[in-house]
Amino acid sequence: MQIAGVASAFPKQYYTQQEIATALKAQWEGKLANPEVLNRLLSRVGVEGRHLSLPIDKYEQMKTWGQANDAWIEVAEELADQALCRALTRAGLSVQDLSAIFFVSVTGIASPSIDAKLVNRMGLPRSIKRVPIFGLGCVAGAAGIARAADYLRGFPNEVAALVSVELCSLTWQRGDLSVANIISSGLFGDGAASVVMTGAAREAHGPKVLATRSSFYPDTEEVMGWDISEKGFQIVLSPGVPDVVLKYLAKDVDGFLADQGLRRSDIDSWIMHTGGPKILEATEEALELPEKALEVSWECLRKVGNLSSASVLLVLEEFMNRRRPAAGSFSILAAMGPGFCAELVLLRW
């Protein structure tokens, strides 16, 4: 299995972190005991600016979860179309080449799902196999590649696409003044990404997926996720996430690589989810990575924020299209998310 094309798509609205902070202060005026807490927390998340699904003044007009989800459906369909079209173009393929499509998101819901809407909107084959996946959160970009690879292992003559859309701003909880919600309102952004993959019997010019590994950590359900109510999605974000990374990641990576006859020193590049400064620092520490090994992840975080499942795909896009590793070298693509869990993908360029 090979990755043939990767592309991203973003809403046209882009705001600096300071512009977003000003809007949030106005939204929470009179409610925050100390408004400077907002500035302090937002300055620590390593983000300079983010794309938002709507003009920033329109968020005050959304009074219900239904309104936010309607906006999610409209924007998600548009961005999914753009990302998939661009990825197919980069792969030198057309919509008619697709046999399967995997759609991942954790910031909105639709039935029919967005992948079904793409069949009508883009003219995808009527016989296409659709696999919408909800709930994996930040890990879903890596997991989606792994599941698409599983599919192509059984159908080596076919082409599969992964589409990720995360519109995190549409989950903002205006009545929630918890530290977790304030941090998430400063960390997460909006965007989409798509990966087109081919089976082993088809020729492509991207990295080969050599192996994948899923790791689930028992009794860690409260580390990350959503509390879902009539108000919509309320963030669950424990300060203990970096501790989970430090406890498990190195052991998982080493075991995964050992099964492939490799060691960490054999890995030329690390394509890691942009979880936030503390997550990236914990990853660097756990894996004992050299300086600037996660430079692309840090850059993506700074430019557009954490895009949940789409983040690791943005890092992959940068490596694929602008910083391609040497032929024959190995990469690890990885992300962690609700469960708590990790997904690891071994690539060879």
Rounded to whole angstroms, the Cα distance separating 239 from 219 reads 16
Report the 10 Å Cβ neighbour count for 293: 17
DSSP state of 195: E
Rounded to whole angstroms, the Cα distance separating 270 from 193 reads 19
Catalytic residue among 85, 138, 168, 300: 138
Catalytic residue flag (residue 138): yes
Q: Which of 38, 323, 1, 301 is nearest to 158 (CA)?
A: 1
Question: Strand (E) positions, 174-247?
Answer: 190-198, 208-216, 224-229, 232-237
Q: Which of 175, 185, 193, 178 is nearest to 17 (CA)?
A: 185
CA distances from 238 to 28, 176, 220, 223, 340 (A): 23, 15, 10, 5, 11
Query: Could you give the angle at which helices 277-287 and 241-259 cross, rounded to 10 degrees?
Result: 40
Single-letter amino acid code for the residue at 7: A
CA distances from 319 to 43, 95, 312, 316, 336 (A): 28, 24, 11, 5, 20
| Catalytic site positions | 138
